[in-house]
Amino acid sequence: MAVTRDTPLTDFPGVGEARAKKLEKLGLSKAGDLLAWYPRDYEDRRKVYSIQDAPAEGRVCVSAVAAEHPRLSRIRKGLELVQVKVVDHTAALHLTFFNQGYVERAIRAGEEYIFYGAVEVQGRRRTMVNPIFERAGKQSFTGCIMPVYRLTAGISNHLLASLARQALPCAEGMPETLPQHIRQAHRLAAAEFAVKNIHFPEDEGALDLARRRLAFEELFYLAVGLSFLKDRRDRAGTGVSIPPRPKEEFLSLLPFVPTGAQSRVMDEVASDMASGRPMNRLVQGDVGSGKTAVAACAGWLCARGGHQGALMAPTEVLAEQHYRSLSQLLAPAGVRVGLLTGSMKAAEKKKTRTALAEGEIDFVVGTHALISEGVAFRSLALIVADEQHRFGVAQRAALAAKSGEGTVPHVLVMSATPIPRTLALIIYGDLDVSVIDQLPPGRTPISTYVVREDKRQRMYGFVRKQVREGRQAYIICPAVEENPDAALPGEESPALNLKAVKTYAETLQKEVFPDLRVGILHGKMKPREKEAAMAAFAGGETQVLVATTVVEVGVDVPNASIIIIENADRFGLSQLHQLRGRVGRGKHQSHCVLITGTRSLEAMERLHTLASTTDGFKISEEDLKARGPGDFFGNRQHGLPQMKLADLAGDMRLFSEAQEAARSLLEQDPQLSAPENRPVWERVRRLFADTPDIFN
């Protein structure tokens, strides 16, 4: 079959409708998509061992001859076993395959095969479970550097690698989108070479060349797109000019003295809003650094100037919390604060919408309900978005569209995820960055401990002691429910041994804390159930709350003094730091306990990093080094393109090169209208498809 970039995957052998649907979940529907689905890692399968010499750590290739015909047995319904003994001149190896009945026909006695898997030594007996195997001399996936791809349920790495290999001929004669002079100046490999060697590299050198070319390309298009974004922002039209007022007027409303950092950021915001140019500012601050006071200051200035502001929060619980604290703070100054969420009764929503349209609400707090149809403002001049990485550029644009003709509202974005400054400038290319790098005095530092499974009973005793003293506890789990079908025996599965909220909460209530009130909170609950669970905990009705990371962005419970994080090695450092910030909000000494059963030294080192510092920026730098930006942000929701290969922490030098190349190209051809630059313009337009009007 002649494969082109547009060949549908259903034309490939072994891809029927069911598999095609699963591949579509990964965004793969044609051969060309496979070429752009870069591996996330590689396994070096080039060295082939004898059975005796094969190390018992990690997965290795072993060359051996089948000493017998494989034996198939059905253990029970839904579980088949194929067993076969293979030998070489040094020893015998016993293979077991679970639910792979075809192996009985595929392996023939007397034939030589290469087997790839983990060798286990039990006394003198050597075994391997579910190895990949190929006939010696007819190898595709052994004896090479093997790509490891991101997968979805029902799609194995073997299948994806096989499809990628079949799609590889499409890379031949691949057109170049990077201008020739840029390729030469930066010593970049050809597109065809790069694509072939990113999937199936000839050796480490070829892989390095391929990766450098493709990472540079991504960073270059990102830099060009960010230039267009900044240009668009400079041409965005006029912002509502909101005259400054004496800061003392606002400070007199606060029940505390702001830190120097808070005061500095308030000045930056006031200066932006008075400039006549639309403000586009990101305020970063660690958990508890006082970002809400900055938002309140912006809302107060806006109301005093005769305009309206809107604060968009990611959850109803958080929206209600902001509504209560802002009402309390701003009411004495005559600022009318309103609330609009999806779960409000129809009559309440209608009343709020009418008040907004008639200008009777100065500062409205809400969720995505704020951008729904039927919501109109009399004079919207300010948008505050809380937790930016949960709000894309598109949502900001949808809210901005409600401000009426002629002016563009000021945008203030608050994020409690401390982001290394270099990364912030890239991710938030269209925003100015302010950092609140001081914590208010009087915040109790949180003690953090890394605890092994064998100390679990002592940890439960500690929780009981805290509750006896009138405190409350969070227990965080990585999974909602247990999945008994997650893996076959002998297979690794991320779902194995993970604490699951539902069953764990039941066990805790029945066996560990029968005399305490244990609550439960997870993302699969209905919004009303979530609100009720959080309200019960905030009100002190529940003493122990077992939850998933849904509490990462959540309500303040000053009485909660301990947070226990199960399977802590499964979380990124920045997320653990966010979760830790749920406690330490009151006057009581607070504790964060990280429970882990990991054997990985690297994972333990990361957890000890968290235990040794509460500096969110230091933690985020470590996290970025360890995990890269894709994992750092979780799902891409910030509205800028996701990097497939480039690592924004490790590739800063390459990014500087790419920025320089982009700047030089745009100086010569600002609109990329020259014929040789049109491919760049097309690529950038596709890359920024989620960002509205970038080229307008």
For the chain, the straight-line distance linking the first and the last C-alpha, in angstroms and rounded, comes to: 43
419 confidence band (pLDDT: 50, 70, 90):
low
Rounded to 5°, the CA angle 587-589-594 comes to 135
CB atoms within 10 A of CB 592: 27
What are the pLDDT digits (tens) for 369-409?
887 778 889 999 999 987 654 555 566 566 667 766 567 88
Weakest-pLDDT range from 4-13, 68-77, 477-486: 477-486
131 confidence band (pLDDT: 50, 70, 90):
very high
Rounded to the nearest 5 percent, the helix, strand and coil shares of the chain are 40, 20, 40
Q: Which residue has the tokens 């806006």?
A: 302
Weakest-pLDDT range from 64-73, 269-278, 280-289, 670-679: 280-289
Q: Where are the domains of the chain?
A: 9-40+168-199, 47-143, 204-235+645-683, 242-436, 446-486+495-613
**Is the pLDDT confidence value at 233 over 70?**
no
Q: What was the pLDDT predicted at 523?
A: 78
Weakest-pLDDT range from 241-245, 505-509, 578-582: 578-582
* Residues in CB range of 667: below 8 A, 6 or more apart: none
Q: Which three-class secondary structure state does DSSP give residue 136?
A: coil
CB atoms within 10 A of CB 72: 17
Q: What is the mean pLDDT of the chain?
A: 84
Annotation: CATH topology of 242-436: Rossmann fold (3.40.50)
Q: What is the pTM of this model?
A: 0.60
**Is the pLDDT confidence value at 650 over 70?**
no
Strand partners, 474: 545, 563
86 confidence band (pLDDT: 50, 70, 90):
very high
**Is the pLDDT confidence value at 436 over 90?**
no
Classify domain 47-143 by CATH architecture: Beta Barrel (2.40)
Q: What was the pLDDT predicted at 387?
A: 63
What does the chain come to in residues?
Answer: 696
Q: What was the pLDDT predicted at 423?
A: 61
334 confidence band (pLDDT: 50, 70, 90):
very high
The class that CATH gives domain 446-486+495-613 is alpha beta
488 confidence band (pLDDT: 50, 70, 90):
very low
163 confidence band (pLDDT: 50, 70, 90):
very high
* Residues in CB range of 17: below 8 A, 6 or more apart: 10
Domains 242-436 and 446-486+495-613 share a fold: yes
Q: Which residue has the tokens 């005259």?
A: 243
694 confidence band (pLDDT: 50, 70, 90):
low
Q: What was the pLDDT predicted at 430?
A: 58
Q: What was the pLDDT predicted at 389?
A: 47
518 confidence band (pLDDT: 50, 70, 90):
very high
What are the pLDDT digits (tens) for 553-570?
566 788 999 999 999 988
